[in-house]
Structure 1
Amino acid sequence: MLLKGLSSQIPWMPIAVAVGAIICTEVICIAKKHSRIKKKTEEVIDVIIFNENTRSQDFPTSAMESMISYINQAQYSIDLAMYTFTNLEMFQALMEAHMRGVRLRIVTDLVMMTSTLTKMIDFKNAGFDIRCPSSKVMMHHKFVLIDAPKAANDISLQRTSNKLKTSTYRSLLLSGSVNWTNQGFHGNWENCIVMSQNDNRVIIAYATEFERMWSTFPTV
């Protein structure tokens, strides 16, 4: 009887409303937290050709400048697998991305790591973790992943938890025949395909290979 009397005296309706409001607030906060991690949905399919025309001063935008424009879109991460790398402009583009907070990871070939004019030594002297296969078999990949899905999502969640600003991103893959060298950009006939698929199957396949190499190859 005492409990029944107390129950009739407790204002259950206002309490229920207050509890419901608290739960809704928490749900909204969680939703807002994850809504800040946005991915661009516009699909990109581009083919960059390096030939005598794109090397001409009359060509509106050089092929290398087109590649740099994609590097400049990076918000969270750049994963580079490059056989040989000597070009100053691409080196500067990657360093600028790093300076604005983009994580940079590099996999290259052991022999090319110390080749003439290589920029890998400059990256290493700047403190970057560079990894190579320990065998004499060539690491002959030539691709770069910009904001790969898992990497971008993990980093953006970390930024959110640290109350740092997050940005809209788009996962991109640049892959083709061209090494990032002066000869490759300004002398050879080469190609580079740029893509961002909404279902990410191709990008995820490349990202899986990069992560496999990154976890397998030692730091040089």
Structure 2
Amino acid sequence: MDWKSAKILLASTATAVVASQVAKKLYKYFFKSKQKCSHTEIPTDDTCNEVLTIKNREINDVILFSDDVVRHTIKVPPNKDVTICESRELNCFKLIKYIKSARETLDVCMYLITSSEIAEHIIRLGQKHVLVRIVVDSDMAFTPQSQINKLKEYSFIQVQTSKKSILMHHKFCIIDGPKAMKRKNILKAYAEKLNVHAQLNKNGTKPQAKNKQTKAFVMSGSLNWSTQAMVSNHESVIVTSHANIVSKFEKEFESLWVETEQVR
């Protein structure tokens, strides 16, 4: 065998060895990744997904308004991974998506509301017969850019300024809370008593109402519903359907809300 042939043989052998090592590493990588994925529950509310699905309404989420797009994962009992994606555009979309998911009631306790986009979505919810109550701080209710005057134009949206002598600095909302749902059902039943004939169909029988399965959740954090906060500030919002947490926020909301309607 001459030197040229020996060089070709050595080169071919080296190439084969390198290729086999690369193939082995690729095999291990993909095999282990597949095995890992098969044992890991994929969360339905992946926050890096552009389409947010709220199916079973079991929610444990964190929305972070930050400068950079960063992905990281946190553990939420019972052993569920929640992927957090910090992107201002995506998080604005997520925040509004959660608000729009209200099916029956929306209770808002917010220091400041200046976002016209959020105000529009609140109005649309009211037009869909979602019962909306809003408590805002009395000093911030009618400042420039505030959306409160606009929201008060609609009779189906109830707005109150905080009657407390201390600053109302809360930033939370409750979607489909049990107490609010109970209140809505009582008001609905009372209205039906006053308008029995309108509730009868052509056959003279009362149509059966469709029961919607709803589960309450709350959003709370540092974020005011303002464009400034969402675009320029570092803010955080925790979203959870944990029943005990929802109950505590409902209790706080009821302590601030002054009942003006006849609820029997």
Q: TM-score normalized by structure 2?
A: 0.59
Distance 1:153 1:183, change over 3 A: same
Counterpart for residue 131 of structure 1: 160
Distance 1:153 1:113 in 2: 28
Q: Out of 58, 61, 64, which is 1:46 matched to?
A: 61
Match of 2:141, SS state, is helix
- The structure-2 alpha-carbon separation of the partners of 1:157 and 1:186, relative to structure 1 and needing over 3 Å to count, comes to same
Aligned equivalents of 1:44, 1:167: Cα separation in 2: 18
Question: What is the correspondence of 1:36-75 to structure 2 with a 5 Å cutoff?
Answer: 42-53=57-68, 59=87, 62-75=90-103
Cα distance change of structure 1 residues 89 and 207 upon mapping to structure 2, 3 Å threshold: same
Task: Flag the 1:135–1:73 CA change in 2: closer, same or farther, 3 A.
Answer: closer
Report the counterpart of residue 244 of structure 2 in structure 1.
201
Q: Percent identity?
A: 28
Partner secondary structure for residue 150 of structure 2: helix
Unpaired runs of at least 5, structure 1: 1-39
The C-alpha deviation readout for 1:62-108, integer Å capped at 9, x for no partner, is 21110111112111100000000100111111111111110000100
Consecutive unaligned residues in structure 2, runs of 5 or more: 1-54, 70-85, 193-198, 200-207
Instruction: Provide Cα deviations, 1:120-158, integer angstroms capped at 9, x if missing partner.
Output: 111112233321234552110000000001222453577
Larger Rg: 2
Structure 1 contact 77–147 (Cα < 8 Å) conserved: yes
Residues 121 and 42 of structure 1: CA distance in aligned 2, closer, same or farther (over 3 Å): closer
Q: Contact between 2:65 and 2:230, CA under 8 Å: does it hold in 1?
A: yes
Partner of 1:182: 227
**What TM-score do the two structures reach when normalised by structure 1?**
0.70
Give the conservation status (yes or no) of the 8 Å contact 1:156–1:166: no
d(CA) in 2 for partners of 1:107 and 1:60? 26
* Counterpart Cα distance in 2 of 1:186 and 1:44: 25
1:195 and 1:105 map into 2 onto residues whose CA distance is 20
The 2-side partners of 1:158 and 1:129 are apart by: 14
Q: How many residues are aligned here?
A: 173
Cα offset, 1:212, TM superposition: 1.2
Query: Structure 1 residues 44 and 91, CA, compared in 2 at 3 Å: closer, same or farther?
Result: same
| Residue from 164, 167, 176 that aligns with 1:147 | 176
Q: What secondary structure is seen at the aligned counterpart in 2 of 1:129?
A: strand
Q: Deviations over 1:194-219 (max 9, x none)?
A: 0001xx111001001101110379xx
Q: Do the aligned partners of 1:110 and 1:136 also contact (CA within 8 Å) in 2?
A: no
User: Which residue does 2:209 correspond to in 1?
Assistant: 164
Which residue is equivalent to 2:218?
173
